[in-house]
Every structure is written in C-alpha cells, then in structure tokens.
Structure 1
C-alpha cells in the first residue's frame, strides 16, 4: 500500500479547490468594493455597460478557472502516477545530500533494506552500508557531485537484521532549488549475479584451461577484454598482467618460439587467419619452462573489428611424455640397430605389413619407396630357402605350429644375409588367422662367428697335424737339398747328372716352401715383433715384388689410397704376405677370364678409414672383375686346403693363412663376390689409435 502520510508530494484535491475558491471570493469582494465607489459617480447607461463587461469577464474567469482546475487535476494524476512509478520501481531510488544524508527514498529501497521509510528519511545512508564500503560510498557521492557525470560502484548494503547483500549503484547529480546539488542514485540488488559470478569463477578456476578474449578495432588497436583466473596457475602471472597488452604476452614466450608466434599474431590481427592452434613454450617468473597449446578463433564484425576468443591449455606433461616416448622409441630403434633386430606386424586379412625401421634396413628396402606386402617379403628370400619359408608360415597359420626359423635373404646388391625369424599368429573366434606379429633378426655375424669358431677348432687340429708333418718333412728335405747341392757342385756343366740335380733342387725348394707355409699356418703367432707402419709403404713394396708379373699379364692396377690414412701396428712382412696373396688370387681370376689384354682387365686397390664399433680401422679392398666365386663355394674359400686352382697350382693355404694373420692383428678379412662379375677381398686392420 502507498504510504500517503509520509508522501512529501501529496496535497489533496480539496485543498487546491478551497484555495481557488478563496482567491475567487477575495477577487469578488475587491471587485464589488471598487464597483460601489465607481458607480456612485457614473451615469446609469455607463453602469449598465460596465455591468455587462464585468459579467463577461466573470464568465471568462470562470472558464479559465475551470481550465486551471482541469490542468491541476491532470498534473495531480501525473504526480500520483510518478509517485507510484517511483515507489514501486523494480530498483531502489535514493536521493542524498553532499554529506550522504537521505533526502528521498522509494519503497523498493525500503523493502530491500527491510526498513520503513520514516526510519530512513534524514538518516546518513552509510548507516545501512557494510563497514568496509562506507568510505567508498562517500567518495562515490563526492565524485558524482564534482564530476557532474554518471558514476557507478558496487558495494554491500545491510538489511535490518544485519544480513549483507550486494548492490550496484549508478548515480547522477541533480539540482534542487532549495537544497542545491544532490546525488540521485539507482540501486540494483546484484546478489544473484554475484553468486553466479562466484560460481562461474570457481568453475573457471577448477578447469585446467584458461580462456581469454580480445578485440581489434578498425584502427588496429588491440584490447584484451578477459583472462580467466586459471592463467595465473599456468603461467605464474595474474590476469591483470596480460590485460595490459599483447606485448606482455609475447615477452613471456620462449625466445626460440617468439618470432613464430609474432608472425602468427600479425596474421590474426590483419585478418589473414581466422583460426589457428599453436603450441609454444613460455617462461615462468621463476625461470621454469612450460608448454602451452593456444586455440584461437577470430571473427570479423560488421564495423570492421575483429573479435578474438582463445582457449589455452598446459601441455607440459604431454610434451614430457612425448619426449620420453621419443627417447624410448629412439632407444628401441638404437637397440634394434645394435641387435640387428626388427619387428613386423602382418594384417593377414588386408595383406598389409608394418615393418620397423630396422626391419627395412635388414631386408634392404627403402621405407619411403616401397609398400610392404607378404610378396615383398618373399621376394627377398634366397631361392633355395623360399619353399622352406612358405611351408613354415603355412604351418604356423593353418596348423598352429610354432614359427621360429632361420633362412637366407638376398639383398638388391646380391649380398646374402642369414635371418632368424619368429612370429605369433592371432586367430579370430572361428579359428581363422587374422594377424601375425614377430621379429626378424640378422644373425649373419653370429653364423659367421659360429663358423669361425668351428673353423678355428678345425684349424687348430690341422695346425697341430701340419706342424707335426712339417717337422717330419723338414729335416729330411733339408738333408735332400744339401746333398743335391753337393751333386750340383760336383757335376760338370751340361751333364745329365747336373740337370737332374737341379730338377731335384727345384722340387726340393718347392717342398721346403710348402713346409714353410704349413709352419706359418700352424703357428701364425710365431713372427717378428709388430711395429708402427703405413699401409701405403707395405702396398708399395708388395707391388714392386709382383709388378713385373702384372704388367706381363696385361693387368692394369688402379690405386686409390689416401695419403692421410692412419698408421697401423703390424708385422710388416706378414701383412705384405696377405697383400701378395690377395693380388695373386686377383691375377689368377683375371687371367682366367681374359687370356690376353682387355679393357676390363683391371685390379683396383682401394683404401679408406672406417669406423667399426666406434673405433677407427683401415680398410684395403682388392677389387677385380675376374671370374668371381660361385655362391656354393663362397663360404669355403678361407677354409684350409680349399682351392679353386687346378692341382699343382695351389695348396689351398693362401687365404687360410691370410685370414689367420689378419685375425691375429685384430682385424677382419671379408670376401664379396658374384660369379662371372667380380670379387672384392677386403682386409680391415685396426688403426694405431685403436690399439
């Protein structure tokens, strides 16, 4: 209900009518008094005329009075409506003087406070404000009156029972004819809004990402509108830091990422990008580095402004996991490389195969150039082993037998490798094979070591036998040669006896040489002390010894030995023996293929420094385009007493002895050959720094 008793504007209609009637009566009395004084001196005709005029004026006054009453009634009705609107407005209204005293207040404000209007009027408004906001209210009033512009603030009011609630106050200055300038304020209850804001703040604080928004106006001026509180948790800096401008954000970015992000920022601000997702590092105030993923959406509006909305996430943990995973993968790749072991996954239904990087390397396939299938795998299998592999896989797929086999593969350059393969087949509910996972390991070196071990045992046995035979033969042959020399000395020149003696001497020397080779084979460590030598020097001396024979056979020698090859520690004479044997074998192969001179009758001798197991080695390769070595006997060429030469032209000890000498020097002897095309004999010796 309206509180009419305390309405400062309320004046009843009857009061106005009484005042109007009183004025009318006073006017009539004055008029009558003046008429009596005047009519005493006037003639009757003039009096009659005057009476008529007065009656006319009376009618006009009555009409004006009625109009005035009508206007006053309309004004009163408007005033009543204003009072209703003022009192029952949805927001509270209060008028304060410069000291903060309440001059006027509507019923809405009274209801907000729970206090009757009579207890508010002429009271200091700060009495109804929470203590911490009293000064704020007084400053607000002074600012309104001094600035003469609308001002806004938020504070806490107190209900009659002391319960605080949040309000928003908007005020303007107004002038009152009696009181001067006053502060007229509109008060809105924002308790619900504040509660929603607090709930939203808690929600925003609880999520792991922070949100931000900004705007670029038509003058390319950049303004941040919002940063959620989580930004401080992620970046170590509060929202206020970033609200200062984009340069503050750029300064937090890691120096290695700053230029890239600066370019992206320019593209967004110029409208070249409407969305992007960037990952970059930031530096926290304490120097810690964190990774952030920032997703940005840019939207142009009709007034040529660009509104930006972003969501940023802390992806440091993900990056650390990725780095650990990459390190793990790199370690796995390295481990597979060291072990020469690759893994595969075969989707049998789709016939698609996944190979690890090392698996590609093992099979000599380029990952970027080939799509691996089951047939790709079969194409690499050695012809003699292909059917065995097919059968083994078939038994694993359809008979559920274990799959663990060894087989040979042939690489594109003709090199053979031995592979150990294992696999596990996965079946569906019906028992149909759908997938096969497994590993392939290059065990070529292992197989060679096993063969070498067997060969070493065999050589040891043969060495003991050879030493025994050599000793048994050496003494008699020495006596035979000595006796033959006596016969040669005593026989006349040109005699048949002397000729026979020389023949005996020649064959005796050949037997002595064989015995010497047998002893070298039996005791390769019985040699002169090793010394620091240069391979070039040994090779030059070797070519001097055999150069005449090579030229006589029409064999051209091409040397490619760098002068800066590292020195080696070796027995010069034994290594020369190895080189001589290699050249003799190449010479024999070239002469077998080319009986006379030919443009391809060439022996290439190549030298290079290589690294094996992170150690330096010197590699000398003797490369001829002769008859080559058949595949079937390629692995036998370094076996003792094995030779491809006709009877009487070789003992089969040359490469065996060379192999033993090189091994004794801590090196390797390797043979690579294709029948009818070429043979490469590589002698690998440790460099001086290795020993």
Structure 2
C-alpha cells in the first residue's frame, strides 16, 4: 500500500513529482492522437520556447499541424504513420513557427504510446536546435567557399593518418590528379602508384625525412594524369603531433603548371639577355681594366674618375649576368651539380664572409657560434653562395656603420643560422613574394638599393636543395632577421 500523504496519497505525490520533472526539462512535451494528430497534452514550456500560451495550445487541438512548416508537414506525418507497425521510437528534425512568426528548427524524439498493442498517441519531446542548424549551415557555407577557393587556386589539401595508413584528399586533390572525387581514403602505396618511379622515390625520401626529423617538406614535381596530360604540382607536407607522438601528416598539392610556363618564358629571356650582354661585356671589362692602368689616364684625375665610374657600372652588369646564369643553372635539369659532404656551418659562414670582404668596411659585424661544431651535410660552395647573398641583402638594406648580427645555433636535429640587419624591415605586402624571381619591393626608396630581384630567389633555391628552410622575421625593435634552418648531419 502507498504511504499516506497530505495531498491524498502516494500516487498523487508521485504524479506531482513526475510533473515537476517534466516541466524542468528544456524541451516541449507534446502528445497527439495517433489517428488525427490533434493535441491531447502539451507541457507549459510551449510558452517560453514557442511563445504560445498554454491556454491557446489547449484550445487549438490542431495547433501542431498549423505551425509545422508546410514543406515539412507531409513528411513528418508520413514518418509518424510508418511508426505504427515498425518502431516505438524515432528521432527526426523539422521546422516550426513561433508565435512571432519566426521559423525554428526542432529535434523531435517521438515515442509511440500503445494500448492493447495498438498505437493510440504519439508522445514527442521537442528540443530547439536552431543554433545547431545555423552553425551547420555556416559550416557548410564555409566548406563551399573553401572548395571554391581551392578550385580557383588549383589547390587541394590532404591528411595521412600514419597509424591507419589512410590518406584523405579533398575533392580538388582528386581533380588535380585527373581523378573523380571519392569519399574513401587510400594507403600510401596506392598514392605512390599514381606517380612515376623517379617522383615516387623523391616523395618517399621527403616523407621519410619528415617522419625522422619532424621538418616540413616542399617539392615541385611532374605528374601524368590518366588522360596523358602532364602537369607540374607543388607538394607541401608537415607533421602534426599529439604531445611528442607523431599522429599524422597534412599538407597541400597545387597545380603550378601555369607558373612554370611563365618561368620557362623567363628562362628563355634570361638565356637571351645573358648571351647578348656577356658577348660585348667581356671585352669591355678587359678594355676598362687596361685603361685603368694606363699612365696617361692615371695622370688625369678627370679620366681616372670616368674610368672608375665605367668599371663600377661594368662590374654591376657582370654581377647581373652572373646572377642570370646562376638562376639558369639552379632551375635547369642539373641535380648532379650539387656535391654533398659533411661540413661545419661556421666554416661555410667564414667562406661567405670572405666573399663579402667589403662588409667589414661598411658595417660592424657581431658573430656568435657555439663552442661545439655544428655539422651539416651540404654542398659547401653552393651553400656559401646562398649565405653570401643573405649577407649582401643585409648589407644593402642596413644603414652604414650599423651592426649586422650573425648567430649560429642548433637543436638536436636542426642547425640554425640567423642574420639580422637594422634596416627598414619588410613590408607585409611584399613578404609573400619575397623569394620570387625578379621580385622587388614597391616604392621609390627600395629602387635606390639596386639589384634585379634574384639574390633571395637563388638563396632559397639552394637552401631548398639542402632540405632546409628560410624565412624572415621582423623584430619589434626594427630591422629584419633572415633565418636559415638545415638538418644536422648527426
């Protein structure tokens, strides 16, 4: 028997307790007749969530059908009717109109109430999920914008789950490779089969270095699509860690064929200009050298000044032609021109400073290096040329007599060389194209520094061939820091 209670007994207390629980949930409980969908019960939350008074809801038995969105009503009723024989519980989503005319999304968790095995009522718990839908719509729009941007930029992204050996591509990645987009991932071996053997081996070595050293990689290589079309892609990959555990690689693939075609035109121009300048320049430099040692010239201050001016400008032309020729050599099919050996980074720096001996005359130098040798695997001559160009860049943009600060440091796996100047810094608009060939900052002040915009492009090409990286930072107190990072030999 139930306990005696002030309001009439156990069952009454239990009913009140159930009602309190029912009214405390953040949802509307709504019951309908299983035959005509008229209201048999609605909880007080309808006032707060939909704005209809409880009296109005009870006086309008067809209110539920009236406020379900017309585009959703038939499908919702059809779904409920299918529950008669198939299930006792079903979740679905649809829109309802509030008292002030706003359409909001609800999740309906419907339970079939049966008597003698026959459905008599539908008991629905309606939860407002409008914010979730708005977030989903915003996410979908964001995905559409990203997909559109990738399509325009011919740029796809990918992830490789190392533990599961599953590669996931964006749709644009498939399009770049001339394949139909698909949802299913594939393994690394399948990806390798899409490449020619030479490219596959190059990618494999780059990935192994990334897995071993934790450094990102950037490669440009050809691919041949199933229809025979040959394009050039730029592949980038970087490791992602959970604490110290490497969990996956991610990166991008971009079709850069159009850019390569433009660069081929530039290369032809470089070849033409180099030949046309070199032919008359060689005897001209020789003649100027002879005149500079002629006794009659030396006796005339005016002639001496003119010859020195001619020699200075001829030397500048020689530097330009040499830069053109160096670009041709580095960007051609000349991978065997690099000879790698173990060298100390400090020795490379000393060689570069010897090349830029004039730097000691125009600027103060501050050089810091650890006592222990920092050993890398490098083509000493090529890397020296790259460092010399970075020193020349610092010299060019630093005020006379200012300090150029050079530092060598290392971690277990990375050797680091930084060169800091105290010049005007790098404009944000120019930073993204600072390593492009023939690229120079805009503005009359920057043109005063001279050059044709090849030095940094050459330096980056050399450093890339060493599996290294280079970037610039702008300290808060001014100037620019060029930072080169290279894998250590050990």
TM-score by length of 1: 0.36
- Greater RCO structure (CA 8 Å; 6+ sep): 2
Whose Rg is larger? 1
TM-score by length of 2: 0.49
